[in-house]
Amino acid sequence: MTQLRISEAADYLGVSDDTLRRWIDAGRAAATTDASGRQVLEGAEVARLLRETSPAVAAETAPIVGRSARNRFAGIVTRVVKDQVMAQVEIQAGPHRLVSLLSAEAVEELGLEPGSLAIATVKATNVGVEVPG
């Protein structure tokens, strides 16, 4: 399971390190200690907090050397539903909930599970625009 240091988790949650530490002290968030003695949060715990708060998510977490899609949303996997062939993966990227349908094999290869860090890329030749009111 993915473990995030306090500063990393705070970035994804869109809060300061101090705010996250206060949440831990108040029992709002659960932290553990890693092998080095540092406080960490399990990825699934960060996913739970994201579902509750839906704050802005920090920018991409790892360098990408090339890309064709311009619309990229860094976030945390909050839900995976799969059968023998297909899977539905939900990613919370700040206030945005993205849902992707992909093969169950791809989900296994990528190791996607609630709490995993992921970047959703969106590329389309047609984009519809609606006006409320």
State the pLDDT confidence band at 58, using cuts at 50, 70 and 90: very low
Question: What's the rounded mean pLDDT across residues 31-57?
Answer: 83
Residues 81 and 48 reside in one and the same domain: no
Q: How far apart are CA 43 and CA 118, in angstroms?
A: 11
Question: What's the rounded mean pLDDT across residues 106-126?
Answer: 87
Residues 48 and 76 reside in one and the same domain: no
How many domains does the chain contain in total? 2
pLDDT score, position 60: 41
Which of left, alpha, beta for 49 (phi over 0: left; psi -120 to 50: alpha)? alpha
Q: What is the CATH number of the domain that holds 13?
A: 1.10.1660.10
40: which strand partners? 5, 32
Q: Which domain holds residue 94?
A: 71-122
Residues 11 and 49 reside in one and the same domain: yes
Q: What is the CATH number of the domain that holds 83?
A: 2.40.50.100
pTM for the model stands at 0.55
Q: Among candidates 128, 82, 76, 79, which has minimal Cα distance to 105?
A: 82
pLDDT digits 0-9 by tens, 75-103: 999 999 999 999 999 999 888 889 999 99
